[in-house]
């Protein structure tokens, strides 16, 4: 059973195809990661799933309902948009109740209090949104998203602006929601979060699907082509090592992409000649590396242009 299915969906703004013939399916009760560079069509896709905008062609099914031709957004779906906003003059509790009622949930008082306490805002229910810090209002917005017990929860960049403590809290809460049976689609720019949290990953680039699968499936498609090393050198010299196709210098360590079928032991010997090797690891490419390999050239071109 799939929570969301997109079949050959296209969305054009004028002549520009923001989403081009996209097909994907989100299995129920999973955490589904949506990645892709800025402007690649992520938010457009999420908005189409939310029925905020309509596609020019294709089929979208959400929780078994055909989205096209349906008027209202579904009460069974919760959405935390990337652009967050709350009525600033309302009290936290009133605002949460307002959002619950918009999803046709009448009696939400007890749930609201439980959520406020779970998010560490137990004493803030009677404060106005005005009085809240940015992190707090983000938590309130999250509560508004999940208060009506949606079966599908769409979170667009839920972690931006959160400190590590609050980010961990969000991650915990999202896992709890999944255990209780909800399907979660989350878009993020943080590849390490995506690697750690998502059962399924999906990457969209220039309106097209470029990755789709579990982390293991994606990584094994790229093979063991990465050497993670720690050596007292700068990255430039590493590029000259035979068999090395690319270098990503992170400062404290470097990732080398090696050519297909290269002898990694030979590379190690070469490195040892160059300087003191403190760490050497033969691995799958990280999600970050895969992302940069796909979107990087474009991004670099854009930066130089």
Cα distance between residue 96 and residue 86, in whole Å: 10
Answer yes or no whether residue 251 interacts with other proteins by CB under 8 A: no
The stretch among 8-16, 95-103, 221-229, 284-292 that binds other proteins (CB under 8 A) is 95-103
Question: Which of 59, 63, 68, 75 touches other proteins (CB under 8 A)?
Answer: 75
63 binds other proteins (CB under 8 A): no
Does residue 83 touch other proteins according to CB under 8 A?
Answer: yes
Subset of residues 8 to 47 that bind other proteins, contact rule: CB under 8 A: 47
Nearer to other proteins, 142 or 202 (CB): 142
- 75 HSE (CA, 13 A, CB side): 9
In the block, which residue shows the tokens 């160059």? 274
Q: Does 93 bind other proteins (CB under 8 A)?
A: no
Q: Is 195 in the site for other proteins (CB under 8 A)?
A: no
- Smallest gap from Cβ 48 to other proteins, in A, equals 12
Q: Residue 101 Cβ, how far from other proteins at the closest point, in Å? A: 4
Q: Which of 87, 221, 259, 276 binds other proteins (CB under 8 A)?
A: 87
Please tell me whether residue 86 binds other proteins under the rule CB under 8 A: yes
Q: Identify which of 66, 52, 13, 7 has the alpha carbon closest to the alpha carbon of residue 209.
A: 7
Contact status: 141 vs other proteins (CB under 8 A)? yes
> Which position among 42, 99, 209, 228 is part of the footprint of other proteins (CB under 8 A)?
99
Q: Of 3, 17, 18, 77, which lies in the binding site for other proteins, with binding defined by CB under 8 A?
A: 77
- CA–CA distance, 57 with 88 (Å, rounded to integer): 38
205, β-bridge pairs: 208
Degrees, nearest 5: CA angle 31-35-36:
165
221 binds other proteins (CB under 8 A): no
Taken as a whole, the chain contains a residue count of 305
User: Would you say 35 or 140 has its CB closer to other proteins?
Assistant: 140
Sole binder of other proteins in the list 15, 38, 104, 180 (CB under 8 A): 104
Nearest to 27 by CA among 8, 46, 1: 1
Candidates 71, 164, 251, 261; binder of other proteins (CB under 8 A) is: 71
98 near other proteins, judged by CB under 8 A: yes
Q: Which residues bind other proteins (CB under 8 A)?
A: 47, 50, 52-53, 71-73, 75, 77-81, 83-90, 98-99, 101-104, 141, 144
């Amino acid at each position: 059973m799939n929570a969301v299915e997109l079949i050959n969906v296209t969305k054009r703004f004028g002549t520009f195809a923001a989403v081009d013939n996209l097909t994907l399916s989100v299995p129920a009760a999973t955490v589904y990661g949506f990645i892709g560079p800025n402007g690649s069509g992520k938010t457009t896709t999420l908005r189409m799933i939310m029925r905020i905008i309509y596609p020019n062609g294709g089929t979208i099914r959400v929780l078994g309902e055909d989205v096209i031709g349906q008027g209202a957004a579904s009460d069974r779906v919760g959405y935390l948009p990337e652009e967050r906003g709350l009525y600033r003059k309302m009290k936290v509790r009133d605002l949460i109740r307002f959002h619950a009622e918009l999803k046709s949930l009448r009696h939400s008082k007890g749930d609201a209090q439980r959520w406020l306490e779970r998010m560490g805002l137990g004493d803030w229910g009677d404060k106005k949104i005005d009085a809240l810090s940015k992190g707090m209002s983000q938590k309130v917005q999250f509560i508004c998203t999940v208060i009506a017990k949606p079966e599908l929860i769409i979170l667009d960049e839920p972690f931006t602006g959160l400190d590590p403590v609050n980010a961990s809290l969000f991650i915990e809460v999202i896992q709890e929601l999944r255990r209780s049976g909800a399907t979660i689609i989350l878009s993020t720019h943080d590849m390490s979060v995506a690697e750690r949290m998502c059962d399924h990953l999906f990457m969209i680039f220039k309106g097209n699907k470029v990755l789709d699968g579990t982390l293991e499936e994606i990584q094994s498609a790229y093979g063991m082509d990465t050497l993670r090393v720690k050596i007292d050198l700068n990255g430039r010299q590493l590029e000259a090592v035979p068999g090395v196709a690319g270098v990503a210098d992170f400062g404290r360590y470097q990732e080398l992409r090696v050519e297909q079928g290269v002898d990694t032991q030979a590379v190690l010997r070469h490195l040892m000649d160059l300087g003191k090797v403190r760490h050497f690891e033969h691995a799958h490419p990280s999600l970050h590396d895969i992302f940069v390999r796909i979107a990087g050239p474009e991004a670099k071109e854009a930066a130089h242009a």
